Amino acid sequence: MVADDVNLHDVEDFSCDDVTHDQLPSVAEARATIPSKPIKSKTKMWYMTAGLLALTVFIIAIAVPASKKPKMGSEEIGNNVERAINNVALNGKSDFEDEKSYRSLAKRAMVKDPLVEDYTYDQLQQRYALYSLYYATQPTLWNESHGWKRKGVSECHWYGVSCDPTTNMVVRVNLRQNGLQGTIPPEVSLIPKLAVFNVNANSNLTGVVPDNLCDLKAERGLEIKVDCHLVSCTCCDSCSQARQGD
């Protein structure tokens, strides 16, 4: 019979563990034989490093200028009054190079006043502006200067100065017929909430209304009152009417 002719020893036994040459590789083995791609990995790593570096540079670029930017507004100035005044001055620290100028006099008056240490930058601006006006217009000749020379007294209690009772911000300066002499300093424009500035009937007040004060008229409707035949004003309604009358 055919079956008797078959030699069972001639049949290969694939169940034997020692026979491996005809086996197909497993999935894990096949994946292990795939060559790695180090170039792609290095490229990815380079992009990640470059991205982190760019982000670091961006953060530094923003943080450094922000740290040097003067604090303003409603923030308290702390105990470094001199530095704070340098920050709010129209031209910075250079405004005080002349020790005899009205600006330097205003600054010294404030540095010596302990009340100012509790001020915000807005309050500091308005006090510095008022002191600048005071020292720029021959204060010894003023008819009335109650409160202007006293330390520890809020500017809201100075003669001719009116404040918003809620915010303590100056809204009106009325020094009409008060003996002011000289010219109106541009620092008056630093008063953040000023709505009315009246220096009419001061016969020895001359010069011009500063441009930055006129800018406030255009920006927020600041009312400026001066004697047009003594002080030149390009933005005062009364002066415009006087010129039309001529």
101 domain-assigned: yes
61 domain-assigned: no
19 domain-assigned: no
17 domain-assigned: no
CATH assignment of the domain containing 119: 3.80.10.10
Based on the structure, what is the number of domains in the chain? 1
Distance set, CA 75 to CA 90, 108, 117 (Å): 19, 22, 12
Residues 6 or more apart in contact with residue 189 via CB below 8 angstroms = 129, 210, 212, 213, 215, 216
So what's the pLDDT on residue 13?
A: 47
Helix (H) or strand (E) holding 48: helix 38-68
231 domain-assigned: yes
In terms of pTM, does the model score above 0.75? no
So what's the pLDDT on residue 19?
A: 45
12 domain-assigned: no
So what's the pLDDT on residue 57?
A: 45
Q: How far apart are CA 94 and CA 39, in angstroms?
A: 59
- β-strands 196-198, 181-183 pairing: unpaired
Domain of 164, in residue numbers: 81-245
pLDDT in tens, the chain (246 residues): 444 444 444 444 444 455 444 555 565 555 555 555 555 566 666 667 766 776 654 554 444 443 334 456 888 887 889 999 999 999 999 999 999 999 999 999 999 898 998 999 999 999 999 999 999 999 999 999 999 988 899 999 999 999 999 999 999 999 999 999 999 999 999 999 999 999 999 999 999 999 999 999 989 999 999 999 999 999 988 786 555 544
197 domain-assigned: yes
* CA gyration radius, the chain: 40
Q: Are 192 and 125 in contact (CB under 8 A)?
A: yes
Tens-digit pLDDT profile for residues 182-213: 999 999 999 999 999 999 999 999 999 999 99
Q: Which two tokens stand for residue 156?
A: 């809201």
92 domain-assigned: yes
